[in-house]
Amino acid sequence: GEDVEQSLFLSVREGDSSVINCTYTDSSSTYLYWYKQEPGAGLQLLTYIFSNMDMKQDQRLTVLLNKKDKHLSLRIADTQTGDSAIYFCAETASAGKSTFGDGTTLTVKP
């Protein structure tokens, strides 16, 4: 079945760039997503990318997709302490059912 893998932890200093990586197995994935979960809150959709795109930029966020290697990354420029959260990678292949990774906990140190 589908599988999505992420590294569990990332720690950066405030002002640095953060890069969170994700790999997936389903070659028929059509959409890929990044969700953010802040402490005590629910999952919030950050951004998504269609599988025929290589890159998507939205303010401080840059999503890169390498479809050949089935690799997705999320870059956060000028990382702030408010960016500390768990980031989930997810993919959808069919019928709108999303498969999620286990999440990467981003810690931003002042």
Partner 1 sequence: EAGVAQSPRYKIIEKRQSVAFWCNPISGHATLYWYQRILGQGPKLLIQFQNNGVVDDSQLPKDRFSAERLKGVDSTLKIQPAKLEDSAVYLCASSPSDGSYGYTFGSGTRLTVV
Q: What does the binding site for partner 1 look like in residue numbers (CB under 8 A)?
A: 4, 30-31, 33, 35, 41-45, 48, 88, 90, 92, 95-103
Q: Is 53 helix (H, G, I), strand (E, B) or coil?
A: coil
Nearer to partner 1, 45 or 55 (CB): 45
> How near is the Cβ of 82 to partner 1 at its closest, in Å?
19
Contacts of 105 (CB under 8 A, 6+ apart): 8, 9, 10, 85, 86
- Exposure of 21 in the CB half-sphere (CA atoms within 13 A): 6
> How near is the Cβ of 12 to partner 1 at its closest, in Å?
21
Nearer to partner 1, 33 or 85 (CB): 33
Nearer to partner 1, 17 or 30 (CB): 30
Per-residue tokens: 44? 């919030």
Nearer to partner 1, 39 or 110 (CB): 39
> How near is the Cβ of 41 to partner 1 at its closest, in Å?
7
Q: Is 1 helix (H, G, I), strand (E, B) or coil?
A: coil
What's the start-to-end Cα distance of the chain, in Å?
Answer: 41
> How near is the Cβ of 108 to partner 1 at its closest, in Å?
21
Under DSSP, the state recorded for 8 is S
